[in-house]
Structure 1
Amino acid sequence: MFVEVPAPVAAIAPPAARRAPLLARILRAAPPYLYLAPGLALLVIWTYRPLVQTAQLSFYSWNLLPTSPMVPAGTDNYEQLLGAPELGNAVWNTILVIAGLLPFTIVIPVVVALLTRQVGGPARELYRALIFAPMLVAPVASAAVWQWLLDPGSGAVNRLLGVNVNWLHETVPAQISIIGITGWHLLGFAVLLVSAGLAGISDDYSAAAQLDGASRWQITRWVTLPLLSPTLVFLALMTVLLGAQWTFPLIDTLTQGGPSGATTHIYYLLWDYGFHSHQAGLGAAAGVIFFTAFGVVALFLVWLADRISFHDD
């Protein structure tokens, strides 16, 4: 005699009933993604779509005129770019710019922030406003003022230093001028970041070190700076990846890449190919190569930052 065993509820439930719990889970999980959807859509439209178009354009020859057809060029743009002598010069100038900006974004901000960390009351707000003010000045406007200050005949810089230097039309002075003006712009922002990092360090560490007989320099060297390392690594990362971009408006306004290519870095070279020489395919190839190179550099720096940063847990 056989006994009939009832089938499981899930087996005999209609398909719509089985789909209901899955649909409910999807609806519960959807709100965060819906909030992110507008930002992700804009990121795709304004970042990833132009990046794909740039990669496609790098395999064509085109002079940017709507009436001219885009001619397939294969890998000719990449071969021409990698064989161009100005590429090596632009890469070297980029390295010089980054190395010259690091003192303005790390060394000087740390010194200034340490020396002024005891400033309090209304003087603190005045100090922050004064130190941050250059960051608010438009680069083109500041370039016009600096062009007057650096004038070889009647400029205030030559008079103050007692020299006769043509700052914007000599190779080394032009490089120094671009780096110095850009550093002047960025100094206040870096000082505020370092000050914020110092404010997040507990005074208990310094007090404990003082009880052990540590001097002020020893506390700074072995306590404060290691705890400040995440902020300093972030500033170094930003300088390496964006330093050359920060100098672009000043170069375009003051030197136009000269004299003799002394201030032409990779971003200005890319712009020159695309919008001055009207070689859109060559400019796109340069953009793809520079994007890939900086992507590799960014990955390495992020990996290195995880290894050398000291976090207060």
Structure 2
Amino acid sequence: MFLARKARGRVRKRAGLSYPLVFAAPGLVVYACFVLAPIMLSFGYSMTNADLFHTDSSFVGAGNYLTLLSDSGFLQSLQVTTILTLIIVILPNVGGVAVAVLLDREGWLYNALRSVFFVPVVLSSVVVSVVWMAMLQDEGLINRLLGARIGWLSDPDLALYSIGFVISWQMLGFCSVVYLAGLQSVPESLLEAAQIDGAGPWLRFRKVTWPMLAPALTLNTVMLLITGFKAYDHVQVLTAGGPGLGTTSTLAFNVIQIGFNENRTGLSSALAIVMLVIVAVVSSLVLRFLKRREVDL
């Protein structure tokens, strides 16, 4: 009798442990097939001189990575990507806070405006780029309104900043929604106490509201950081890496160019792995710093 109860207990314990695995299995399979497998495959290709039109390839070890480190085009694309990412991180964060504060009110009008600001987020990046390309052309709507002829996309000094503005405009709604959720979670008692103590609107925002928005800042910054480093669609549609030689060529753009236009699959895979490592390291450092800031606040 005792042995039977003990055996039933072991069966229940194994069954209890299997339930989480059963529910997690589909997600794990999808993650392994569409995330881990491509990463491992790319890493394998990065150690060879493979290309699209020849099945035979030879092992070159770290040769592709050494080629990238000595390639001025890689260093330029890294610089371009860094500048673009900084623009994308700063503008939507600043604009998102401002829009969220303005929309943090009750009424059907503000509910409708929230939906309007979020629409660009759900649109395809290609559609957004095509619309903005028409407006930013030399004879486009923007120049007509300004009464000037500014090369927003044709001037090498302005093209990268124009792309950064377009991506920031599309991500503004996302940041606004996240900050709005943070604003609505701020306890009214804290704001009322600060007001009773004589704090004005700006002081209440700086001392009470802004610290409470630390989790929203963390989420938005990490998401925008990843968006900036993987920017490709907007660059391809708006400037195709130009004007000039690589003035707007990002890391993601060069991965596609090297892999498909130059048919250098091995080198392209190496660049993709390097980009993955950079994004993972930078995102981890930023996330750790912002999480520590949340604790300090």
Match of 1:218 in 2: 203
Whichever residue aligns with residue 60 of structure 1, its letter is T
Whichever residue aligns with residue 249 of structure 1, its letter is D
Q: Using the alignment, how far apart are the partners of 1:29 and 1:52 within structure 2?
A: 30
Q: Using the alignment, how far apart are the partners of 2:129 and 2:181 within structure 1?
A: 29
**Is 1:176 equivalent to 2:164 in the alignment?**
no
Match of 1:185 in 2: 170
Q: Which of the residues 200, 219, 222 maps onto 1:237? A: 222
Describe the superposition over 1:199-243 as per-residue Cα deviations: whole angstroms up to 9, x where unpaired.
111111000111111111110000000011110121111112222
Q: CA deviation at 1:122?
A: 1.2
1:60 is paired with a residue whose SS is coil
Structure 2: state its 5+ residue gaps: none
**Aligned 8 A contact 1:109 1:194 in 2:** yes
Structure 1: state its 5+ residue gaps: 1-8
Q: CA deviation at 1:258?
A: 1.0
**Is 1:296 equivalent to 2:281 in the alignment?**
yes
CA RMSD of aligned residues (A): 1.9
Structure 1 or 2, whichever has the larger Rg, is 1
User: What's the TM-score, normalizing by structure 1?
Assistant: 0.89
Q: Using the alignment, how far apart are the partners of 2:118 and 2:8 within structure 1?
A: 57
Q: Which of the residues 69, 80, 85 maps onto 1:82? A: 69
Q: Using the alignment, how far apart are the partners of 1:54 and 1:145 within structure 2?
A: 34
Q: CA deviation at 1:18?
A: 5.9
**Is 1:117 equivalent to 2:104 in the alignment?**
yes
**Aligned 8 A contact 1:148 1:155 in 2:** yes
Q: Which of the residues 3, 7, 11 maps onto 1:23? A: 11
Match of 2:122 in 1: 136
**Aligned 8 A contact 1:178 1:250 in 2:** yes
Q: CA deviation at 1:20?
A: 4.4
Q: CA deviation at 1:121?
A: 1.8
Q: CA deviation at 1:104?
A: 2.7
**Aligned 8 A contact 1:227 1:310 in 2:** no
Q: CA deviation at 1:167?
A: 1.9
**Aligned 8 A contact 1:226 1:310 in 2:** no
Within a 5 Å distance, the mapping from 1:1-313 to structure 2 comes to 19-65=7-53, 67-118=54-105, 120-152=106-138, 154-245=139-230, 247-259=231-243, 260-310=245-295
Whichever residue aligns with residue 92 of structure 1, its letter is Q
Whichever residue aligns with residue 23 of structure 1, its letter is V
Q: Using the alignment, how far apart are the partners of 2:183 and 2:5 within structure 1?
A: 58
2:213 is paired with a residue whose SS is helix
Whichever residue aligns with residue 39 of structure 1, its letter is G
Whichever residue aligns with residue 182 of structure 1, its letter is I
Q: Residues 222 and 310 from structure 1, CA distance in 2 versus in 1: closer, same or farther, beyond 3 angstroms? A: farther
Whichever residue aligns with residue 278 of structure 1, its letter is N
Q: Using the alignment, how far apart are the partners of 1:249 and 1:141 within structure 2?
A: 10
Q: Using the alignment, how far apart are the partners of 1:291 and 1:307 within structure 2?
A: 24
User: What's the TM-score, normalizing by structure 2?
Assistant: 0.93
Q: Residues 192 and 17 from structure 1, CA distance in 2 versus in 1: closer, same or farther, beyond 3 angstroms? A: closer
**How many correspondences in the alignment?**
296
1:172 is paired with a residue whose SS is coil
Write out the 4+ residue segments of structure 1 that deviate beyond 4 Å after TM superposition.
16-20
Describe the superposition over 1:113-139 as per-residue Cα deviations: whole angstroms up to 9, x where unpaired.
112312x22112211121112223222
Q: Using the alignment, how far apart are the partners of 2:131 and 2:210 within structure 1?
A: 36
**Aligned 8 A contact 2:218 2:287 in 1:** no
**Aligned 8 A contact 2:128 2:170 in 1:** no
**Aligned 8 A contact 2:92 2:169 in 1:** no
1:71 is paired with a residue whose SS is coil
Over the matched positions of the two proteins, sequence identity in percent amounts to 26
Q: Which moved more, 1:266-275 or 1:137-146?
A: 137-146
Q: CA deviation at 1:19?
A: 4.9
Describe the superposition over 1:45-90 as per-residue Cα deviations: whole angstroms up to 9, x where unpaired.
111011111111111111112x531222222111111110011111
1:239 is paired with a residue whose SS is helix
Q: Using the alignment, how far apart are the partners of 1:79 and 1:17 within structure 2?
A: 64
Q: Residues 230 and 104 from structure 1, CA distance in 2 versus in 1: closer, same or farther, beyond 3 angstroms? A: same
Q: CA deviation at 1:310?
A: 4.9
